[in-house]
Structure 1
Amino acid sequence: MDREQEEIQFLGFFGILKEAGNITTSYRKIFGQITLSIILPLSFIFLAQIQISEFLFGEIIHNEYVLDHTQMGSQRYSKVSDMLSSEWTAFWLFKIAYFIFFLILSLLSTSAIVYTIACIYTAKEITYTKVIKVVPKVWKRLMVTFIWNFIIVFAYNIVTLLVFILWAVTLGPSVIGIVVVIILLLIYLSGFVYISIIWHLASVISVLEDVYGIQAMVKSKGLIKGNTGVCAVIFLILNLCLLGIQVGFEVSVVGGDSVWGRLWYAYLWFMLLSVLLLFGLVIQTIIYFICKSYHHENIDKSSLADHLEVYRGDYVPLTSKDVQLEHFEV
């Protein structure tokens, strides 16, 4: 990152995209190595689970149709019913296994990218070996932050469910009720996007500072003030791109006819997803430095560089004393 921290705060939407592009192209070797080892497997797991889930769910739908047209109490009914139970069990076990592996790779990729960009920011020499040694230590901090985010999202959804139950009991599908439910849906989506932005920034904080978990979430909430709009636009665009890749994969690969055509499209969506994930993580880290700059919190690069060092293979997290949060004059 060639810019001084005072200048970073003035980066807008297109400035952030340009900065992310400059960083990834200038340090293509290290980002290429991280992509090959972590992001490509992450992309493969994400797309593969779509194909496998579609296959398993297709079998379930077929057997449910057969069961509906089979005489209850017959031997065939019992056989199909047992098969259906096994298929549902296999489906949910697969989903759980996918979630675990996807989560692990997601946190590992976040750790690697955030640490790498922090080293670039401090002009510290960075190698793939150094990143791989640091990542497992940083990953544990990110896991705690993720758990707190999961708790917050779960509570948020429970409260939302109760609100919609109250809506159904009091208003229902009347004219006023429809207007109210649309407003409630917009509020819910806005709140969900806001929580997601806080979590993504909290992930960066968990890597670069001495706080993680709920403390990182609280700190993230304070940092995004003044940049919420830009963060929301970037978050929505990245997620729309992700949705586009997912839909494109389902249409052209899962629902495709030609074997060679499906292979070509699978490769295309696979590469696009990998680029999107890498680009998204780079942007996520840049936004952290923008928010710090916006609030006039100047990170001492020398102190940050010292504590990004790997000492005997151990990651040394930043402490509040090491990160000099000094207010600078604009």
Structure 2
Amino acid sequence: MDQEQEQFQFLGFFGIFKETFKIISTYKQIFTQITLSIILPLSFIFLAHIEVSEDLFGKIIDNENALDQTPKDTKTYNSLSDLISSEWTYFWVFKTLYFIFFLILSLISTSSIVYTIACIYTSKHMNFKKVMSVVPKVWKRLMVTFVWNFIIVFAFNLLALVVLVSWVALIGFTMFGLFILSLLGIIYLAIFIYISVVWHLASVVSVLEEDYGIKAMLKSKDLIKGKAGVSIVIYCFLNLCFIAIQVGFDRHVVLAQDGSLVSRTIFGVIFFLLLSLLILFSLTAQTIVYFVCKSYHHEHIDKSLLADHLEVYLGDYLPLNSKNVQLESFDI
């Protein structure tokens, strides 16, 4: 990051992307090591989950269709019923295990990327071994922040469900009702995206400042003021890329049963590499957004104090003091 802190606040969509490319290309060795050890397994688990889930769910649907055409209280019917129950059990056990491993790798990759970029920013010596030694202490803070985000999203979706039930009871599927439903859908999507953007920024706050959990979410909400537009655009763009990769993998690998094994394998490798690069780029970009927001709010980041702040992770963990480390204001 060779730009002056005062100039970071002026970075927009393309400026943040340019800075992200610059950091990754300049320090490609450490990012390559992180990608090979963490991000590639994360991408593999995600794509493999899509393939396996489709296979398991397809078998369940086929057996349920066969069950519907089988006379009740017969040996075949009872066997199919037991088989379907077992398959649903396997399906949800697989989903649970996938979620656990995916969450752990996501938090580890986030903590490693954020810590690495902070070391780069402070010109602090680092290597892959040092980054990995820090990760176990950092990702626990990210877990608390994730739990709070989950609680907020759950409460928000519960409220949305109440509103939807009220809409059905009071208005229903009339022309006016459908118009209101469209407005409610837009409002829901806008709030959900905003919560997601705040959470992503809160993940960086959880690593680089003393706050984590709900405090990090609140701090992130304050930081994003004034830069919410560019943050939301970046989030939406990266997620559209993610959706495109997922849809492409579904179409050319999972659902391409008539295609040859060679073509499906080639497409699988391509989407696997694209997803890995996208995850690396997204985590780096969200860290840059944090520094842009700090600069916009005139919060000077003292490099020497931030370096000491990061060094704490290498010894016994101590609470981080954002007042001393990161929240020194400067005038422009």
TM-score normalised by the chain length of structure 2 = 0.98
Query: CA offset at residue 316 of structure 1?
Result: 4.9
Which range moves more in the overlay, 210-219 or 319-328? 319-328
1:144 maps to 144
Query: CA offset at residue 315 of structure 1?
Result: 4.9
1:172 maps to 172
Q: 1:27 to 1:137 in 2, by over 3 A?
A: same
Q: 1:314 to 1:40 in 2, by over 3 A?
A: farther
Query: CA offset at residue 307 of structure 1?
Result: 1.7
Q: Deviations over 1:15-60 (max 9, x none)?
A: 0000000000000000000000000000000000000000000100
Distance (whole Å) between structure 2 residues aligned to residue 160 and residue 321 of structure 1: 38
2:14 maps to 14
Q: Deviations over 1:159-181 (max 9, x none)?
A: 00000000000111101000000
Q: Where in structure 1 are there 5+ consecutive unaligned residues?
A: none
Counterparts of residues 97-176 of structure 1 (less than 5 Å) = 97-176=97-176
Q: Which amino acid aligns with 2:275?
A: L
Q: Deviations over 1:258-288 (max 9, x none)?
A: 1000110000000000000000000000000
Query: CA offset at residue 328 of structure 1?
Result: 1.4
Q: Which amino acid aligns with 1:73?
A: D
Distance (whole Å) between structure 2 residues aligned to residue 135 and residue 27 of structure 1: 19
Query: CA offset at residue 139 of structure 1?
Result: 0.6
Query: CA offset at residue 311 of structure 1?
Result: 6.6
Query: CA offset at residue 321 of structure 1?
Result: 3.9
Q: 1:40 to 1:311 in 2, by over 3 A?
A: closer
Q: Runs of 4+ in structure 1 displaced over 3 angstroms?
A: 310-317
2:301 maps to 299
2:289 to 284, 287, 290: 287
Q: Is the 8 A contact 2:133 2:314 kept in 1?
A: no
Q: Where in structure 2 are there 5+ consecutive unaligned residues?
A: none
Query: CA offset at residue 125 of structure 1?
Result: 1.0
Distance (whole Å) between structure 2 residues aligned to residue 310 and residue 141 of structure 1: 14
Q: Is the 8 A contact 2:149 2:199 kept in 1?
A: yes
Q: 1:183 to 1:97 in 2, by over 3 A?
A: same
Counterparts of residues 1-330 of structure 1 (less than 5 Å) = 1-256=1-256, 257-309=259-311, 313-316=315-318, 318-330=320-332
Q: Is the 8 A contact 1:137 1:314 kept in 2?
A: no
Secondary structure of the structure 1 residue equivalent to 2:129: helix
TM-score normalised by the chain length of structure 1 = 0.98
Distance (whole Å) between structure 1 residues aligned to residue 21 and residue 251 of structure 2: 30
Q: 1:30 to 1:314 in 2, by over 3 A?
A: farther
Q: Is the 8 A contact 2:298 2:330 kept in 1?
A: yes
Distance (whole Å) between structure 1 residues aligned to residue 126 and residue 164 of structure 2: 51
Q: Is the 8 A contact 2:71 2:77 kept in 1?
A: yes
Q: Is the 8 A contact 1:114 1:282 kept in 2?
A: yes
Q: Deviations over 1:170-204 (max 9, x none)?
A: 11110100000000000000000000000000000
Distance (whole Å) between structure 1 residues aligned to residue 322 and residue 95 of structure 2: 40
Distance (whole Å) between structure 2 residues aligned to residue 28 and residue 90 of structure 1: 41
Q: Which amino acid aligns with 1:89?
A: T
- How many residues were matched structurally? 330
Secondary structure of the structure 2 residue equivalent to 1:211: coil
